[in-house]
Structure 1
């Protein structure tokens, strides 16, 4: 039996490395969450704040949030019933425990989907990732709220939350 030649081994190594690298790129890294792709949802939700990736919360959180738009974190975000149904359907289909599982798993580890918070900023992984941010930074005039991801993550609108 003849052993593979050096060029063949090198080629196999390069192919294996490329497959690993490509998987990482396709996944978008550990801080990637696919942004909202539906233009209506992006416009409605994004008119007041970043249209958060549905894969950042489980379906139950999105359903509870959409059921109480009259008091959407202190604001009235009420929309007509047809629009509400469309937005809810999109968020639920792409939630962390449904269509967005590939991405949402990392943020929801250890969180019961039936008892998940409504705020992404209350998820244990989010809290761990941001524990070293000093309080004064949250109060900075360009930040003002923990939900203002784009203040620190310049590529958040494209789904990238790396520092």
Structure 2
């Protein structure tokens, strides 16, 4: 039997390498999961006037639908839209919303920054960073993610302001 020829340490080493490769794939998928959808022009036009047009995969559909259903009280702002725009954006969000492991559970208050995946991804960021004048809050993705406006949150494009 071929495995009888391998020492126990060699088997452990091979298992560790395979585990590392699998973990790297998961991390790569997490980094890329929010970059695969071309933004609907109407969504970008209406939403990116106040903040970045967050990739739809960052929240589950139920969260997006609640947000769209309460635009007159959109986190302290009246972001009301006409019915046709809401329908178009709603349909697009339903098709492209998060549903994978990282974003299928609605976070408290439907806030991306309170989702489990967001907290895990940003766990190493000290609380003081979020309070810097150049950052202001965790929802200001573009402060650190230099390609956030393009939907690219790859860690290679992160610059944490001083």
* TM-score clears 0.5: yes
Q: Distance in 2 between matches of 1:124 and 1:30?
A: 13
**Quick check: 58-67 or 126-135, which moved more?**
126-135
Aligned residue runs from structure 1 range 95-134, under 5 A: 95-97=97-99, 105-108=100-103, 112=105, 115-117=106-108, 118-134=110-126
Normalised TM-score (structure 2): 0.70
CA contact (8 A) 1:69 1:76 kept: yes
- Aligned-residue CA RMSD (Å): 2.1
Structure 2 vs 1, CA of residues 119 and 36 (structure 1 numbering), >3 Å: closer, same or farther? farther
C-alpha offsets along residues 42-86 of structure 1, whole Å, 9 cap, x if unaligned? 111101000000111111010011000011111110111111111
Q: Distance in 1 between matches of 2:79 and 2:38?
A: 18
Aligned residue number for residue 31 of structure 2: 31
Q: Distance in 2 between matches of 1:126 and 1:116?
A: 10
Q: Structure 1 regions of 5+ residues with no counterpart?
A: 1-23, 98-104
Q: Distance in 2 between matches of 1:127 and 1:58?
A: 16
Q: How many pairs are equivalent?
A: 127
Q: Distance in 2 between matches of 1:63 and 1:53?
A: 14
Aligned residue runs from structure 1 range 12-91, under 5 A: 29-32=29-32, 33=34, 34-91=36-93
Normalised TM-score (structure 1): 0.70
Q: Secondary structure at the match of 1:63?
A: helix
Q: Distance in 2 between matches of 1:81 and 1:141?
A: 37
